């Protein structure tokens, strides 16, 4: 810990479409330390996946383009690498696990072929050795009868098992960074618990850094060291996990927390939804992108887009009125919480 592994500076990603230019990521800056778990929280269209696909250089260009930004990984700017150099990093030093385990595995190849591919390619292992390693990897993610299952095809696995296979593939070359894009969203909660349990264990065993993309504040509360909340292509708040949940200082973060029912809530209280819809990424509003839906809005919000401002210890919020948020948020977030049950 302590050394910066990934340093993303002023990253922008746009897509040129028939309807105009979609501003998907609008100047994202953050750093990730070795061994750290970063949660990237936001709703659809907030730019959380696109920003990570940009880091992985997986944005098709055209229609995509990256007008500005640097992605410094271990001293190299990934955006300046040739496709060949990038291939050496992708799957080897940075691996990615996608949301949908049903479509991200190749249905006509066995699991064995798909796992050993990167082992042979990146680590130059022999077929035999790669196969042995594949069995180890499957055992690591709790696939029962790993030796026998190795020659099965993806359709012979359940959704949860496929996602575990994906994680095994992601981990195959012992990456320094694992990017997980909503890896549990398509799964049932009990299976989600199995997966997050495995990821937590592997993280402490292998010491890699993780970026976990999600829209689920519950999942991230138990996983991440630090959280970036994204809205319409901007990071609007960033803080350590406990600080973020105890002391949210952006109206959008407060809105998200106020709009989800909690499992342990007591008497039925009305949720506080965020009214309205996210802005159109083609015609972005002037000023703060959230002003349209914000109950803390002032004149300044319509005119000037707030930068991330330091609002506490390692805590930044992009809101002009964060002091007002601090004073009023408890009215929105107040809930009766039941005592946790002991299992």
Partner 1 sequence: MTYHHAPSPNDTRDAASSMTMEVQTKTGTAQSPKTTASTHDQTLLQVRNLKKYFPITQGILFQRQVADVKAVDGISFIVKQGETLGLVGESGCGKSTTGRTILQLYRPTEGQVVFRGKDLAMLKGEDLRKMRSDMQMIFQDPYASLNPRMTVGDIIAEPLEVHNIAKGKEKKERVQELLQIVGLNPYFVNRYPHEFSGGQRQRIGVARALAVNPDFIVCDEPISALDVSIQAQVINLLEELQDRFDLTYLFIAHDLSVVRHISDRVAVMYLGKIVELTDSRTLYANPLHPYTRALLSAVPIPDPIIEEKRERIILVGDVPSPVNPPKGCRFHTRCPLAIPICKEVAPEWRDVGNEHFVECHVV
Residues 268 and 255 sit within 8 Å (Cβ to Cβ): no
Q: Which is nearer to partner 1, 81 or 193 (CB)?
A: 193
CB of 243 to partner 1, least distance (A): 9
Residue 312 sits in the site that holds partner 1 (CB under 8 A): no
Q: Which is nearer to partner 1, 304 or 336 (CB)?
A: 336
Looking at the DSSP bridge assignments, the partners of residue 309 are 317
Contacts (CB under 8 A) with partner 1, residues 231-290 = 241-242, 245-246, 255-266, 268, 270-275, 277
Task: State the residue for tokens 């909340």.
Answer: 229
Using the rule CB under 8 A, which residue among 192, 238, 253, 317 binds partner 1?
192
Stretch that binds partner 1, among 6-14, 65-73, 104-112, 217-225 (CB under 8 A): 217-225
Helices (H), the chain: 48-55, 83-89, 111-123, 127-140, 146-149, 159-171, 189-206, 217-221, 241-246, 251-259, 299-303, 322-333
Q: Which is nearer to partner 1, 84 or 267 (CB)?
A: 267
Binding-site size for partner 1 (CB under 8 A) equals 51
CB of 148 to partner 1, least distance (A): 16
Contacts (CB under 8 A) with partner 1, residues 1-60 = 43-44
Collapse the DSSP code of 292 into the 3-class scheme (helix H, G, I; strand E, B; otherwise coil) and give the result.
helix
Contacts (CB under 8 A) with partner 1, residues 128-167 = 144, 158, 160-161
Task: State the residue for tokens 């995509």.
Answer: 64
Token pair belonging to 57: 């250089």
Collapse the DSSP code of 8 into the 3-class scheme (helix H, G, I; strand E, B; otherwise coil) and give the result.
strand
**How is residue 293 annotated by DSSP?**
G
Token pair belonging to 243: 């600080």
CB of 95 to partner 1, least distance (A): 24
* Burial class of residue 4 (count of CB atoms within 10 Å of its CB; 0-12, 13-18, 19+): middle
Stretch that binds partner 1, among 27-35, 103-111, 118-126, 193-201 (CB under 8 A): 193-201
CB of 224 to partner 1, least distance (A): 8
Secondary-structure breakdown of the chain: helix, strand, coil percentages, each rounded to the nearest 5: 35, 25, 40
Interacting residues with partner 1 (CB under 8 A): 43-44, 144, 158, 160-161, 188-194, 196-197, 215-219, 221-222, 241-242, 245-246, 255-266, 268, 270-275, 277, 338, 340-343
């Amino acid at each position: 810990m302590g050394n910066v592994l990934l340093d993303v500076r002023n990253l922008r990603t746009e897509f040129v479409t028939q309807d105009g230019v979609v501003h998907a990521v609008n100047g994202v800056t953050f750093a990730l330390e070795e061994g750290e778990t970063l949660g990237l929280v936001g709703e659809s269209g907030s730019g959380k996946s696109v920003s990570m696909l940009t880091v992985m250089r997986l944005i098709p260009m055209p229609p995509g383009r990256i007008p500005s930004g640097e992605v410094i990984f271990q001293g190299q700017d990934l955006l300046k690498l040739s496709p060949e150099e990038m291939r050496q990093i992708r799957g080897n030093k940075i691996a990615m696990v996608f949301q949908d385990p049903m479509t991200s595995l190749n249905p006509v190849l066995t699991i064995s072929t798909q796992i050993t591919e990167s082992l042979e390619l990146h680590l130059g292992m022999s077929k035999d050795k790669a196969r042995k390693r594949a069995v180890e990897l499957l055992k690591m993610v709790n696939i029962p009868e790993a030796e026998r299952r190795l020659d099965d095809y993806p359709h012979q696995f359940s959704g949860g098992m496929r996602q575990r296979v994906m994680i095994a593939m992601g981990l195959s070359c012992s990456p320094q960074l694992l990017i997980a894009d909503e890896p549990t969203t398509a799964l049932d909660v009990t299976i989600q618990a199995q997966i997050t349990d495995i990821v937590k264990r592997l993280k402490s065993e292998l010491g890699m850094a993780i970026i976990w993309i999600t829209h689920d504040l519950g999942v991230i509360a138990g996983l991440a060291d630090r959280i970036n909340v994204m809205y319409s292509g901007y990071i609007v708040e960033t803080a350590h996990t406990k600080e973020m949940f105890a002391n949210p200082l952006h109206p959008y973060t407060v809105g998200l927390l106020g709009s989800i029912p909690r499992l342990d809530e007591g008497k039925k209280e009305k949720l506080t939804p965020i009214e309205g819809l996210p802005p159109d990424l083609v015609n972005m509003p002037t000023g703060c992108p959230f002003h349209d839906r914000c109950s803390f809005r002032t004149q300044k919000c319509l005119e000037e887009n707030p930068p991330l401002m330091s609002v506490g210890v390692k805590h930044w919020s992009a809101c002009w009125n964060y002091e007002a948020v601090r004073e009023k948020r408890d009215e929105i977030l107040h809930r009766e919480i039941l005592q946790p049950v002991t299992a």
